[in-house]
């Protein structure tokens, strides 16, 4: 077998595994968008079978053989000699130089090795059991949340916690399960790094939030009434299209919790509508569009290989946050879209001035619910979840005590105590899917978005003038080159360093928040 054919077979197998993953993703999308209420049990079985198939493809011993084969030949002298001894030796004419893996192919090889070594450590029975439990727990969570019944949910959550620890142990992280879970979402990141970044952020963020919240300047919300869904849908479609989302390779539907699923050629975004809060669906959709643009910008020619995949959730969130916050909550964006927004909703916006509308778009007000939080207080919601996950995974907090611990931290960080568990510990879907270690990605994404924003404006000083003309192509082009085209070439922190020339820091986020919010809330 030549290097070329071994590499081609490796890629074919990686792609097959990726395709199985996309089918799995589509079933998950359908579960949240279309599934009839009594069809959940069958879906859990379907997802379990798919997870098993995908796991079998990703852990196929043939993949291991191909990786070992290629690693022994990646252009090392031993390989060059061995190749020279292959058929062709002794024939007349110049020797054909051996086929060597390109730099890109070596990246694929290294990342594929890391994935393979992880996946083979998970027994198929475990993968099947976890997939089934994820689906069952999702439905239990939805039921218990509706009734604000933490006690009913606790056994499901307990099992998720055990499965997460078990998975970490299989991967060799028995002593530091939270590090494994974080790394799974943000390659290369650890709880210690996050702890340091969050501590630095919190020190300045809490006083900044208090300063804003205590300002006599208050955003109006009284006019957010009676925005029919159909024009909301049309408006957000026009906005997201203009930002660059390609609807020929994606769509947007409605779900209870907005999300973005899929990759490359088929992106499924969701949103939700509220007649009395049109900004919710608008900003939610722009957020998901940021995720979608990242996925659509991954190089199609590498689809299915690590060079055609996103780095992780922190980088993903940096893309969604950048579009949602730095771009779409900015003055320049509204200079272009405000006249169109008013054309769509003339009666609803008649008595609202431009400045009032802009302040409402940038309203800061502590809330109990993370997904409703503004971008100043949002990070405090994440710090709360990080603290609790860290304690849960370290065995310093038991599931039964989680609601009380949640409420105490909410009071400490946000100055609010949830009146019930629905608005407290039961509000988020993540833990029901066993996604511990996911929450920090949101805050990593916020820090990274501000750092990228600082960098791109340094490179293109007049960038925001483009936005005022409805042109977002220069920003998108920059993100395509700097972030999207890289696939998984770098880990999260390395990518930040490569693109911005400095390590990930909360400094740019704090600077951006001060720059945007203090002038708005100065009495």
* Minimum distance of Zn ion from residue 211's CB (angstroms): 27
* CA atoms in the 13 A half-sphere facing the CB of 286: 23
Q: Mask 273-312, x = binds Zn ion (CB under 5 A)?
A: ----------------------------------------
Q: Among 65-73, 270-278, 313-321, 512-520, which window interacts with Zn ion (CB under 5 A)?
A: 313-321
Q: Which is nearer to Zn ion, 189 or 359 (CB)?
A: 189
**Region binding Zn ion by CB under 5 A among candidate stretches 34-42, 212-220, 222-230, 319-327:** 319-327
Q: Tokens in use for 416?
A: 């609010």
Tokens of 48: 């379990």
Half-sphere exposure of 329 (CA within 13 A, CB side): 26
Which element (helix H / strand E) includes 288? helix 278-297
How many residues of this chain interact with Zn ion, rule: CB under 5 A? 1
Q: For the CB of residue 313, give the shortest distance to Zn ion in the complex, in Å.
A: 8
State yes or no: residue 59 binds Zn ion (CB under 5 A).
no
Closer to Zn ion at the Cβ: 320 or 492? 320
Helices (H), 59-187: 61-71, 77-84, 103-119, 124-147, 150-170, 177-185
Q: How far is the CB of 481 from Zn ion (least distance, A)?
A: 22
Q: Which is nearer to Zn ion, 407 or 432 (CB)?
A: 432
Q: Answer yes or no whether residue 320 interacts with Zn ion by CB under 5 A.
A: yes
Active site residues: 288
Residue 49: half-sphere exposure toward Cβ, Cα within 13 Å: 7
State the binding string over 7-46 for Zn ion (x if CB under 5 A, else -): ----------------------------------------
The DSSP symbol for 376 reads T
- Least distance to Zn ion from the beta carbon of 496, Å? 18
Tally Cβ neighbours within 10 Å of residue 303. Answer: 19
x/- mask, Zn ion, residues 191-230, rule CB under 5 A, reads ----------------------------------------
How many Å apart are CA 380 and CA 357, to the nearest integer?
Answer: 25
In this structure, the strands spanning 250-254 and 266-271 are: parallel
Nearest-CB residue for Zn ion: 320
Q: Which of 70, 148, 137 is nearest to 109 (CA)?
A: 70
In this complex, which beta carbon is closest to Zn ion, that of residue 105 or of residue 320?
320
Choice between 32 and 320, CB closer to Zn ion: 320
The distance of closest approach from Cβ of residue 291 to Zn ion in the complex, given in angstroms and rounded to an integer, is 6
DSSP 8-state assignment for residue 74: S
By beta-carbon proximity to Zn ion, the closer residue of 289 and 348 is 289
Q: Restricting to residues 400-459, which ones interact with Zn ion according to CB under 5 A?
A: none
Residues in the chain: 523
Closest CA to 261 of 57, 16, 15, 33: 33
Min dist CB 290 to Zn ion, Å, is 7
Closest CA to 380 of 417, 412, 427, 408: 412
Alpha carbon 171 to chain centroid distance?
23
Residues at the site binding Zn ion, with contacts judged by CB under 5 A: 320
């Amino acid at each position: 077998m030549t290097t070329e054919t071994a590499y081609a077979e490796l890629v074919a197998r990686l792609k097959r595994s990726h395709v199985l993953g996309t089918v799995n993703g589509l079933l998950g999308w359908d579960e949240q968008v279309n599934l009839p209420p009594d069809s959940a049990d069958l879906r859990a079985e379907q997802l379990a079978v798919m997870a098993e198939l995908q796991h079998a493809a990703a852990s196929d011993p043939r993949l291991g053989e191909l990786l070992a084969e290629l690693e022994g030949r990646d252009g090392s002298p031993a390989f060059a000699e061995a190749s020279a001894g292959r058929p062709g030796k002794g024939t007349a004419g110049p020797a054909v130089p051996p086929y060597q893996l390109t730099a890109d192919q070596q990246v694929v090889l290294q990342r594929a090795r890391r994935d393979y070594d992880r996946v083979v450590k998970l027994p198929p029975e475990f993968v099947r059991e976890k997939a089934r439990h994820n689906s069952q727990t999702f439905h239990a969570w939805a039921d218990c949340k509706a009734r604000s019944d933490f006690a009913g949910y606790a056994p499901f959550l307990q099992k998720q916690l055990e499965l997460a620890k078990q998975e970490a142990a299989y991967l060799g992280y028995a002593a530091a399960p939270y590090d494994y879970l974080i790394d799974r979402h943000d390659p290369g990141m650890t709880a210690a790094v996050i702890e340091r970044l969050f501590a630095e952020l919190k020190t300045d963020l809490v006083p900044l939030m208090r300063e804003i919240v205590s300002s006599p300047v208050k955003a109006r919300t009284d006019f957010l009434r009676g925005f029919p869904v159909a024009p909301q849908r049309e408006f957000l479609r026009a906005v997201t299209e203009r930002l660059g989302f390609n609807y020929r390779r994606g769509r947007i539907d409605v779900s209870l919790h907005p999300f973005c699923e899929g990759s490359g050629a088929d992106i499924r975004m969701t949103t939700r509508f509220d007649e009395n809060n049109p900004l919710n669906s608008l900003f939610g959709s722009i957020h998901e569009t940021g995720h979608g643009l990242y996925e659509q910008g991954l190089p199609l020619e590498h689809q299915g290989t690590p060079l055609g995949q996103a780095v992780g959730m922190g980088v993903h969130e940096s893309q969604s946050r950048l579009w949602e916050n730095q771009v779409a909550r900015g003055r320049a964006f509204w200079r272009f879209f405000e006249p169109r927004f008013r054309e769509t909703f003339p009666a609803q916006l008649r008595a609202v001035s431009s400045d009032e509308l802009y302040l409402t778009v940038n309203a800061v007000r502590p809330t109990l619910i993370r997904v409703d939080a503004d971008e100043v207080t949002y990070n405090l919601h994440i710090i709360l979840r990080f603290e609790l996950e860290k304690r849960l995974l370290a065995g310093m907090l038991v599931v039964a005590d989680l609601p009380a611990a949640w409420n105490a931290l909410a009071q400490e960080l946000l100055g609010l105590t949830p009146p019930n568990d629905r608005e407290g510990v039961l509000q988020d879907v993540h833990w029901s899917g066993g996604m511990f270690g996911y929450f920090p990605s949101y805050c990593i994404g916020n820090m990274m978005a501000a750092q990228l924003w600082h960098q791109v404006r340094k490179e293109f000083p007049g960038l925001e003038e483009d936005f005022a003309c409805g042109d977002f192509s220069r920003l998108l082009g920059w993100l395509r080159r700097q972030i999207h085209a890289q696939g998984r070439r770098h880990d999260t922190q390395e990518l930040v360093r490569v693109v911005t020339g400095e390590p990930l820091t909360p400094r740019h986020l704090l600077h951006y928040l001060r720059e945007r919010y203090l002038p708005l809330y100065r009495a």
